[in-house]
Amino acid sequence: MLNVLLITQYFPPDLGGAATRNSNISKGLSLNGCNLTIITAFPHYPHGIIPPEYKSTIVKIETIDNIKIIRTFMPPIKSEGIVKRMVLMVSFAVSSMFALPFSRKADIIWGGSWLPGILYSKLKRIPVVLDVCDLTVEDLPLLKIAKQDSLLLKIASSIYRFFYVKGDAIAPISPGYVNTIVNKYSVKRDRISIIPVGVDSSEFKNNKKFRLKDDPFIIIYAGVLGVGYDFEQVFGAAKILKDSGTNVQFILHGGGECVGIIKSRLQELNLTNVKLSDRLLSSRKEVACLLNEADALILPLKDYGAPYPGIPSKLYEYQSVGKPIICCAEGEPAKYIRDSNSGVIVSPENPRELAQAIKYLYANIEIAQQMGKNGRRLVEREVDIAAIGAKAKALFTKLMAKNATN
């Protein structure tokens, strides 16, 4: 049996794409006969609230579905702004080392968090695969968090280049990341294996909801309410639809650093057809139930000034519940939805175009339902967690064979 050590700062019940990624890869590897040990942080993201049961210890060991989970200290800091995020990252890099005496024998490491992943790789003398959930350094100037030519980004790029060199393999979630990894960080293409985030299709499945004639057409966004998303586009479209008498209801559900701003804007605009819920959901099952309340699901990404290279994990969840997707994005998300014919594509920051797309789905329910079915079929065929786990295991086996001959 292949023994895998997964090291990551983010793991459920944390929210966000990284936590979903690590949950899915761990489930997928288990389904493919791997033995998992996970080193992760106390639950903390994005709200910075540490549950009471973790507050009197530095290391806490849990077992879930025969997976050993070793959780280590994190300070109660809300994940917002570059300084606080750096503090959280460094805190886990340090505290994760306290898990070393409790970690079991491992053959390979999945490095969701790179620095502790590389350190454990050196200490245990086994290969490490570096997971790439996003292009953090490249995203910062696009989100206007840091300037393109700033000293901070130059230092960060040098650090990332060092990490990329140390990884035995690089596993990005999207094909849109490959050129940057190769051209900017000088990583050879044969060291890169694309492993999508995927989705647990047994958990996220379609529970048919039939909308009555007079019911509103419900559009849901579920996930982190963060700076990467453009909720102003949603507000603009909501006003257009309200003024035209279209019976549409938006629901924004999640937590994050933009909750306060969204609440203020909704009060200012008096949009009765937009509801905000920042109630934390306790399980992925609850998220699946929420998504099933929708007639359509929306991804309102900001205009990054360039085609977006990633594929957000929520797109797979949206597809898996068999709902049509309204994809407000350019780049890889739009290409993925277009190729799978599982939704409609809208230009970022274009409320009028978004309103027109919603009216189209509202008036063509059979086409909308077929889009949902197309997405579900693709999930079952290509990106279910079992398929993702099989890809990761094949990569691990290849690396171990190469390591044995060196």
pLDDT at 187: 93
Report pLDDT for 16.
Answer: 82
What does the pLDDT read at residue 86? 85
* Cβ 125 vs Cβ 61: under 8 Å: no
Question: What pLDDT band is residue 31 in, cutting at 50, 70 and 90?
Answer: very high
User: In the structure, what pLDDT confidence band is assigned to residue 210 with cuts at 50, 70 and 90?
Assistant: low
In the chain, pLDDT over 70 holds for what percent of residues? 97
**What per-residue confidence (pLDDT) applies to 106?**
95
The closest alpha carbon to 238, from 314, 300, 291, belongs to 300
- Please check the confidence at residue 137 and state whether its pLDDT lies above 80: no
Which of 42-51, 144-153, 160-169, 392-401 bottoms out in mean pLDDT, i.e. has the lowest?
144-153
pLDDT of residue 83: 83
Which helix (H) or strand (E) segment holds residue 360: the answer is: helix 351-363
| Per-residue model confidence (pLDDT) at position 386 | 96
Tell me how far apart the alpha carbons of residues 22 and 101 are, in angstroms, rounded to a whole number: 22
Q: Tell me, what amino acid is at 98?
A: F
Give the confidence band of 15 by pLDDT, cuts at 50, 70, 90.
confident
- Whole-prediction pTM value? 0.88
- DSSP-assigned letters across all residues of 278-321: -PPPSSHHHHHHHHTT-SEEEEEB---SS-B----HHHHHHHHT
CB 66 within 8 A of CB 3: no
Q: Assess whether pLDDT exceeds 80 at residue 382.
A: yes
By DSSP bridging, strand 274-277 and strand 325-328 are unpaired
Over the range 159-198, which residues count as b (16 or more CB within 10 Å of their CB) and which as e? Answer: ebeebbebbbbbbbbbebbbebbeeebebeeebbbebbbb
Helix (DSSP H) and strand (DSSP E) numbers for the chain:
14, 13
What domains appear along the chain, each with residue ranges and CATH number?
A: 3-198+384-405 (3.40.50.2000), 217-382 (3.40.50.2000)
Q: pLDDT band for 145, please (50, 70, 90 cuts).
A: low
Relative to beta strand 128-132, strand 108-111 is parallel
Q: Three-class SS of residue 221?
A: strand
SS3 390: helix
Averaged pLDDT of the chain? 92
pLDDT greater than 70 at residue 27 = yes
| pLDDT for the residue numbered 369 | 93
Q: Does residue 139 have a pLDDT over 90?
A: no
CA angle 324, 257, 247 (to 5 degrees): 35
Sheet containing strand 217-222, edge to edge, reads 274-277, 248-253, 217-222, 296-300, 325-328, 343-346
Mean pLDDT of 47-76: 92
pLDDT score for 381? 93
Place of tokens 């008096």: 270
Q: What pLDDT was estimated at residue 404?
A: 72
On whether the CB atoms of residues 332 and 386 are closer than 8 A, the answer is: no
For residue 56, what is the DSSP state? T
What value does the mean pLDDT take over residues 373-397?
96
Say whether pLDDT at 336 is over 90: yes
pLDDT of residue 143: 66
Give me the mean pLDDT over the 202-224 stretch: 85
Q: Looking at residue 337, what is its pLDDT?
A: 97
Reported as a single tens digit per residue, the pLDDT across 261-291 is 999 999 999 999 999 998 877 678 899 999 9
Separation between Cα atoms, residue 182 and residue 230, nearest integer Å: 30
Segment 120-130 shows an average pLDDT of 95
Which residues does 217 contact at the CB level (< 8 Å), separation at least 6? 211, 246, 247, 248, 249, 295, 296, 358, 361, 362
In this predicted structure, what is the pLDDT of residue 146? 67
Indicate if the pLDDT at residue 37 is higher than 70. Answer: yes
The whole-number average pLDDT for the span 11-31 is: 92
CA distance 227 to 143: 7
Phi, psi torsion values for 308, nearest 5 degrees:
-70, 130
